[in-house]
Amino acid sequence: MSDWYEEHIEPEVRDIVRYLRNNGINTESSCGHDMYIQCEYIPDGLIFNLNLLLYNYFAEKNLPIYYEIKVHHSYRWFSLFFIDY
């Protein structure tokens, strides 16, 4: 049985895309070369919950936490940019 993530998500962001999706964050696009993930914006504390998810993800892997969240003017989506990841 093939793994959808293996076929469609670049290896640099594959684990974190899987982690976000498994935790209820709908990822819409991603790029391993530019180290970003675009996600559907859902209000009601999403950014707070997202910060907790990202903290737990990076802490579990003993990786430094360097990311930036940009909410776009339409508030229909946001992007995560990973720095020195």
- The span from the CA of 36 to the CA of 15, in Å, is 13
pLDDT-based confidence at 85, cuts 50/70/90?
A: very low
Residues 48 and 18: their CA atoms lie apart, in Å, by 19
Give residues with Cβ within 8 angstroms of 35, minimum separation 6. Answer: 12, 13, 81, 82, 83, 85
| 3-class state of residue 75 by DSSP | coil
Sign of CA dihedral 51, 59, 63, 19: negative
| pTM assigned to the model | 0.76
Which residue segment(s) compose the domain that 73 sits in?
Answer: 4-82
Q: What is the arithmetic mean of pLDDT over 55-63?
A: 82
